[in-house]
Chain A
Amino acid sequence: MAYIIEMLNITKDFPGIRANDNITLQVEEHSIHALLGENGAGKSTLMSILFGLYQPDAGKIRIKGKDVRVTDPNVATRLGIGMVHQHFKLVHNFTVTENIILGMEPRKGPIIDIRAAEQKVEAISKLYGLAVDPRAKIEDISVGMQQRVEILKMLYRDAEMLIFDEPTAVLTPQEIHELMHIMRRLVEEGKTILLITHKLKEIKEVADICTVLRRGKVVGTVKVADASEEQMAEMMVGREVSFHVAKGPAQPKEVMLRIENLNVKNNKGVLGVKNLSLEVRKGEVLGLCGIDGNGQTELVQALTGLTRIESGKIFVGDTDITPLSIKARTDLGLGHIPEDRQKHGLVLDFTLSENFVIHNYYEKPYAHWGILNPKAIRENADRLIREFDVRSGQGGDTPARSMSGGNQQKAIVAREIDRSPKVLVVAQPTRGLDVGAIEYIHKRIIAERDNDKAILLVSLELDEILDVSDRIAVIFNGEIVGIVNAKETDENELGLMMAGSLRKNVPPARQSETSASVQGRNA
């Protein structure tokens, strides 16, 4: 088969780092080619070069056997390259068709010929089995549908080569399954797909060929059918990785975190969390899963004290923390690994040492009479860096901004765990991290569980929820629609609950402590 995209000996330097080092990527026509690599391995740089956002320092690009110079994204579009971005670029109060034709509107005289456009969109949608209603407004359709609109946008512009950048991050398991189906269908109809991902399972499911990058270099290109997930992971990380967290059975003790009939408004002013009740015991991990935007953020913010609650109570041990400030909750033993580590977890312009003491910078030994003690702060940093294997260029003096995402996250985990909180609320701990860092963070969470801490794990990643949790609660539309044992469930069941089509072991709205724990056990 002929190569449709050839990137030959591509090298790209950024100040101080070689992002792409002599990379050669050859994509066969009518295939799904996966590009696998950890964060910072050079995937995005390579794709940005292909899409015309960067110019390579060396090497050349051939499309359909012809040498080309992709000087900007318009050139890429003309060559038939389309990109489905991780974050959709859609106008929310426009219809599907209006979004698709944006920038190249078909005209009848001076007037946009919306009718013709709709027909064309419908035809394309039918051809590839996308089932998108061309007249629907973006704000009314699901995230999965919105992604299809992005795909349609590319197809409408006659793209032959489609780049998918981490396409499954925002989808439910069912939607992921459908997307895989659509990708297959696209290839059948003659398209070629480049899939950027760090999820091995998806590669295994859908891709034909996989090129693995590590630290800006190609480690190898393999036929997916011949390679196991473990092999690919090893190529990506450079060592053996285990996918499943080794953990013994949980030994849950008394209830440490109790949420009773909690109501929280979201930023649109309507209830994002509705009458929610949950319990987490000492020595267990309760996983909270759900599709993004179903109340997880509001729940976590209510727990940590960032949002005012409408009604309900939250107990840590026997203390009702609802009237307490953020600071008082922290001091009481509530630890929190926030969802957005760069916005909430770290002060990026602070050094690592400074970030480590963000909760207790005013306490001895870090300060005395209001004056900081740099030596103690420094020693604390050295200790945490050693204990938690945080990798940073200049030790404690490293600016947090210059660290990789994985090490930033490790730093937050180190800081929070080191405070030894009774309850640890962990939100999206491994978002955007590579398998090596994920493995480490999971191990640490389990270690804390075995240390008799109560852990609430909020994650959008089903694998993570299934792997790390002991019990799983599913949140849908701000309500708990099911509580199950991690060992007795699977992706399918969780997926159905996440979509709101199945309810299981739901705690009753008004409950006493005993009935709730019985519910928990029954699950």
Chain B
Amino acid sequence: MTKRTEKVLMPLIAVFLGFLLGSIIVISTGRSPVSMFSAMIRAVTGIDLVNGMSFNPRYIGEFIIQSMPIILTGLAFAFASRTGLFSIGAEGQLMVGSLAATAVSLLVVAPAAVHVPLVLLAALLAGALWGGIPGLLKARFNVHEVVVTIMMNYIAFHLNNFTILNVFGSVDRVKTAFFPQSALLKDPMLESLTNGSRLNWGFVPVILALLAFSFIINKTTFGYSLRAVGYNKEAARYAGMKVNRNIILSMMIAGAFAGLAGAVITNGTFNFGRALPASEGYGFDGIAVALVGANEASGILFAGLLFGMLKAAQPLMQSQGIPKEIVGIIQASIVLFVAMQYGIKMILDKLASKKNASAEGGQE
């Protein structure tokens, strides 16, 4: 098995095993896994296989909506991870991103062609700033990024709620006033195209982010030095690379991806800033997406779509009488099986060598 096929095959096996385990659990609750899978297919294609092949494009739109933020938070985790950092701060970076997007949406008056880019830029910078703080602390004082990013998540959460409630004057203790049309990623055309889903132009920054990730990591000298630091910090230092600067920059860029996700949610899925009862878990979904996607842009795209599909399928499954917790179980087991890939590889190798041995035995 070559390295390349292995890199593709392993996550696929993990996904397969995850679905297998999910099916077994569904069967054990006395339901049919067929309705689970048909719900998933419906979530992706909009086609209802069970009830007379009806087609509703709204599901496709909702599926893409679910995928967009977790692809971005996946990129955020992966980017830091490529520099050898374990950042779980995407959650908080996303929140300050939404907050910045909210601020620019409400406070700036401009035509859409200026307003939307400004919103995105603000979210991106806020996320970068939020990510830069743990980066700086790591580089300067060697404080572990896991600890700092967790703390920053709490700060972001309360900062967001405080600001929404007290500064932007929430209308009903939950949300701000509606944003002006010029700040929105929403578009009635996209909505009508998908039968009234919440699909919006947020996929454009997501695609740009995917391209930027891949370009920075693989094609630039900066990406080269980031990877060197990530793989072997000592050797990078030996070669004269600025390890600390790279740590800070890497955390900032990671934060920018997550911050962007905040804007995509606030100005795409919604059209108002929100005070949150609890954090929504986009950041943690992103960790799972990055893990399954092996920290590569293409992998993250597929893993993000997979997890988005699972999220979108959740309500459909519930309507079929399948507990929605099944989705959580499938997600968790996919991540678990990805983490177990060395064990899986060992089993595969053993099977392969047994096959070889029996083939040789036959020849003798």
Encode B227-257 as 1/0 by CB contact (under 8 A) with A. Answer: 1100110111111110000000000000000
Assembled-state Cα–Cα distance A327/B237 (Å): 9
A409 smallest CB distance to B (angstroms): 14
Return A327 CB to nearest CB of chain B, in Å. Answer: 3
Question: Quick one: which of B234, B352, B357 contacts A344, CB cutoff 8 A?
Answer: B234
A13 touches B (CB below 8 Å) = yes
Q: A420 — which chain B residues lie within 8 A by C-beta? A: none
Known: A15-B353, A57-B357. A349 touches B232 (CB 8 A): yes
Q: Which of A180-188, A209-217, A367-375, A509-517 contacts its partner?
A: A367-375
Which residue of B is nearest A57, CB measured? B357
Contacts of B178 in A (CB 8 A): none
A15 vs B346: C-alpha distance in the bound complex, in angstroms? 10
| Interface residues contributed by chain A, number (CB under 8 Å) | 29
Check if A496 is an interface residue, CB within 8 A of chain B: no
Contact assessment for A372 and B238 in the assembled complex, using a CB-CB cutoff below 8 Å? no
**Which residues of the partner chain A approach B231 to less than 8 Å between Cβ atoms?**
347-350
B240 surroundings in chain A (CB, below 8 A):
325-327, 330, 359
Chain B residues touching A, majority SS: helix
Residues in chain B near residue A361, CB distance under 8 A: 221, 224-225
B83 to chain A, nearest CB (A): 13
Q: Is the CB of B235 within 8 A of A345?
A: yes
Contact A371 B237 (CB under 8 A): no
Count residues of B near A (Cβ-Cβ below 8 Å): 24
The answer for the CA separation of A176 and B228 in the assembled complex, in Å, is 40
Closest chain B CB from A413 CB (angstroms): 15
Shortest B299–chain A CB gap in Å is 17
A346 at the binding interface (Cβ < 8 Å): yes
Q: Is B325 an interface residue (CB 8 A)?
A: no
Pick the contact of B224: A13, A15, A372 (CB < 8 A). A372
Contacts of B238 in A (CB 8 A): 304, 306, 326, 336, 338, 344-345
Partner of B219, one of A346, A349, A371: A371
Closest A residue by C-beta to B357: A57
A441 and B231 CA atoms in complex are apart in Å by 27
Tell me if A346 and B357 are in contact (CB < 8 A): no
Q: By the criterion CB–CB under 8 Å, are B221 and A350 in contact?
A: no
Q: In residues 311-369 of chain A, which contact B (Cβ within 8 Å)? A: 325-327, 330, 336, 338, 343-350, 354, 358-359, 361-362, 367
Query: Which residue on chain A has the smallest CB distance to residue B350?
Result: A15
Cβ–Cβ < 8 Å partners of B220 in chain A = 370-372
Q: Which B residues are in CB contact (< 8 Å) with A347?
A: 227-228, 231-232, 235-236
Tell me the bound Cα distance from A336 to B235 in angstroms: 12
In the complex, B349 has a CB within 8 A of chain A: yes
Q: Determine if B222 is an interface residue (Cβ-Cβ < 8 Å).
A: yes
Q: Which residues of B contact A15 (CB under 8 A)?
A: 349, 352-353
Which residues of the other chain, A, contact B223 by a CB distance below 8 angstroms? Answer: 372
* A359-B240, A371-B219, A372-B219 given; A13·B235 CB < 8 A: no
Contact indicator B221/A344 (Cβ below 8 Å): no
Measured in the bound complex, the distance between the Cα atoms of B225 and A327 in whole Å is 14
Docked Cα-Cα span, A84 to B361, in Å, equals: 38
List residues of A whose CB falls within 8 A of some B CB. Answer: 13, 15, 57, 304, 306, 325-327, 330, 336, 338, 343-350, 354, 358-359, 361-362, 367, 370-372, 399
The 8 closest A-B pairs by CB, nearest first: A327-B240, A349-B231, A362-B221, A358-B239, A326-B240, A347-B232, A367-B221, A344-B238
